[in-house]
Chains A and B, each alone.
Chain A
Amino acid sequence: MFDIDLFPLRLSLQVAGLATAICLVVGVALARLLARRRFWGRDILSALVTLPLILPPTVLGYYLLQVLGRRTAVGAFLEDVFGIQIAFAWEGAVLASTIVALPLMVRSAQAAFESVDPSLENAARTLGRSDLGVFFTITLPLAWQGVAAGTALTFARAIGEFGATIMLAGNIPGKTQTMSVAIYDAWQSGDAALANALVGILTVTSVLSLLVIGRLVRVPRW
């Protein structure tokens, strides 16, 4: 039992953590944009953000691979100019998880922002605060419950990501093999004991992570 390689667990936490952080920043910005602004292409943007929710993850991973694969124009450009490799690298797993989980964050945060009374933001603006200041002192605190729920959902979705990840990042032990992929791999190769152990570890880790996130983002009710 003690010679289990914990690399997949470390990688999964790293990938899910990073993906959640990116979703928090990008998702909150997108949610705010969609909730308050009316602009040309808003519906298209909204549909694009939601798309990963309805596309099967393998399909999504396939598209990503077609765009970002090492032999594609974009993939080659990124690798040659910036030295960034997405396909078959752990960064690919982060990207896959981020895109798959983003709609959960956006949907949850957007609903929360929409429920904030615009007259509160308007009142704050007449009191001399910048738009960014108003966002951080009024809008975000009042929408925090929704953003927090989105964060928890995002992390849960990211740590369990399988389909898009295995398509884009592959299954390279010690390099891109996350927990979900490792479990599948162990079961496929007939190692039921390892699969059982990994399943147990991931279950406990997921529940603990959500408890920690729940604690971190909890705010006192007013």
Chain B
Amino acid sequence: MLHVDVQKRLGGFELTMAFAAGDEIVVLFGPSGAGKSLTLQTVAGLVRPDRGTISLGGETLFDARLGLNVPPQRRRIGYVPQAYALFPHLTVTQNIAYGISSLPRPQRAQRVQEMIDLLGLHGLEERRPGQLSGGQQQRVALARALVFRPRLLLLDEPFAALDEAIRATLRQELLDVRRQLHMTTVLVTHDLKEAFALGDRIAVLDSGRILQQDARDEVYYRPLSRRVAELIETRNILRGTVLGSDRDALHLDWRGHLIKASPQPLPKEPALSLSKGQPVDFCIRASQVTIVRPGRPTRGAERENLLHGRVVREDLGAESYLLFVAIADSPQPPDLQIELPINVYYRLNLDTDKEVVVSLKREAIHVMAVDAA
């Protein structure tokens, strides 16, 4: 179990990090400059925090008050830095064996062989990093970090330098390797898809602080604030006012339309008040907005929160289309973004300028407190 609770001032930047990680992948997700890499470096022992503590498996690695700071050499943490930092003058074998130079030769050879088997590096043993593809370099870096059986694995943007095609493969490999070795893993990324593909838990970082840390679905569907919703690319973030609530629904006013949302589990932090007249932000993922089929009787969930609008723009993706919809008599369209699988798009016979009726599923609406800023 890793416990991190540190503060570090670096020029005008201030890092305040508190998180824990068990036998899982914790993803530190955020835009560049959020302090993700710096956090990993403090855990690896390469940057000394100003205040706080870091402990791993019950052993204290850093304690500012006690003046305790275990050097990186003795932390036994596998660290894969951004761009891998493979040693360019050493072969693949020498790179992998670098961290186990104190072992007797036969054991060293055996450990290196295990890593070559685990990561499928056969035939590349005598190559130097400059002669490897990006994906191969990534595997070698992982092998080098795992060969001395670390207690914790730190990965800094492990797939950022790779093509989309190979990323999916390597992500799956990483999940397989981690499952075999049962290792606490902290992974840093600015790629949303990667964060949600790999993270058991996700911490959303912005300007040196953690805005939210929760299980991946919790973060995805229930961002704590507008800023988190923006960072995780929630497309529909709307501002409304509380009208009141009854047993089944919370009633909101959004630009003169009544929107009913499922009763909300109230977060403690930041405090969310749902008294009448209270402005609130609420969001709904673009994939949770549905288009009601014309000429068909609507029923069930499809009938909730019906709004009339017009398609004003379309973004055509490879697997899904994104529609921008203006709600009738809207002052500043477009108002809603709807993501549709391509087959649904054609079944509904949609096109730009078409009039549509959309439905906001009650249970998909998530209400957030308005950010103090």
| A interface residues with partner B (beta carbon < 8 Å) | 117, 119-120, 122-130, 137-138, 141-142, 222
Contacts and interface: CB of A to CB of B under 8 A. Distances in A.
B46 interface: yes
A124 B87 contact: yes
Contacts of A120: 85, 87
Contacts of B45: 125-126
Classify chain B: how many residues form its interface, as a range.
20 to 34
A26 B171 CA distance: 48
Interface string B46-69: 100000000000000000000000
B88 interface: yes
B87 A126 contact: no
B130 A222 contact: yes
A128 B101 CA distance: 9
B99 interface: yes
Interface in B118-134: 128, 130
Contacts, number: 59
Pairs A-B, 9 closest by C-beta atoms: A127-B99, A123-B85, A126-B79, A119-B85, A125-B72, A126-B72, A222-B89, A222-B128, A122-B46
Contacts of A129: 73, 98-99, 101
Contacts of A222: 88-89, 128, 130
B83 A119 contact: yes
A120 B81 CA distance: 9
Contacts of B41: 122
A141 B88 CA distance: 10
Contacts of A122: 41, 44, 46, 72, 81, 85
Which secondary structure characterizes the binding site on chain A?
helix
Nearest to A137: B98
A141 B89 contact: yes
Nearest to B144: A127
B282 interface: no
B242 interface: no
A183 B87 CA distance: 49
Given A126-B78, A129-B101, A222-B130, 18 more contacts: A120-B85, A120-B87, A122-B44, A122-B72, A122-B81, A122-B85, A124-B87, A125-B71, A126-B73, A126-B75, A128-B73, A128-B74, A129-B73, A137-B98, A138-B87, A222-B88, A222-B89, A222-B128
Residue among A117, A126, A127, A130 with the highest chain B CB neighbour number at 10 A: A126
Nearest to A124: B98
A222 B90 CA distance: 8
B77 interface: yes
A125 B98 CA distance: 10
Interface in B77-119: 77-79, 81-83, 85, 87-89, 98-99, 101-102
B73 A142 contact: no
A122 to B, nearest CB: 5
Contacts of A126: 44-46, 72-73, 75, 77-79, 145
Nearest to B45: A126
B81 A123 contact: yes
Contacts of B75: 126
A109 to B, nearest CB: 17
A129 B101 CA distance: 9
Contacts of A127: 98-99, 144-145, 148
